[in-house]
Amino acid sequence: MFGNMPAYGMYARHVKALSARDVVFTTDTPDARPAFRFEEAAGVDLDRVIVPRGPAPPIFSLRRVTDFVLRNSPGLPDKRPTADKEEF
C-alpha cells in the first residue's frame, strides 16, 4: 500500500503527542533501516524500548523533531533532544 517504509519498527510523520511504552521490535535478519523514524513530529515520548543492537544502522532517525523523550530503555541512553536532523 505505501511501499517500503523508512523504518522497520515505527515510522511517524506529522504527529503531535505520540507516546509509546514497553515497545519491543525484533527482526529475523539484519535490517539496514533504523527501528524508529520520526519526521516533523512534536511531543514524542518513548519509555522502555527494546530493539536489536548491532554495529549499524542507527536505532533512531529524527527529522525536524521537537520535545523528544527516550527513557528507561536497556542499552540506550536517556535522551531529550530537539533535532532538525539527528541519528543515534
Looking at the predicted structure, is the pLDDT value of residue 4 above 60? yes
What dihedral angle (degrees, nearest 10) is formed by the CA atoms of 36, 15, 23, 88?
A: 30
Per-residue pLDDT reduced to its tens digit, 30-81: 889 999 999 999 999 999 999 987 777 799 999 999 999 999 999 888 988 7
CA atoms of 81 and 24, how far apart (whole Å): 22
Preceding peptide of 57 cis, ω within 30°: yes
What pTM, to 2 d.p., does this model score?
0.90
Looking at the structure of the chain, the number of domains it has is 1
Looking at the predicted structure, is the pLDDT value of residue 8 above 90? yes
> What domain range is 31 assigned to?
10-87
CA atoms of 5 and 55, how far apart (whole Å): 21
3 falls within a domain: no
C-alpha distances (whole Å) from 88 to each of 2, 62, 85 are 25, 9, 10
4 falls within a domain: no
81 falls within a domain: yes
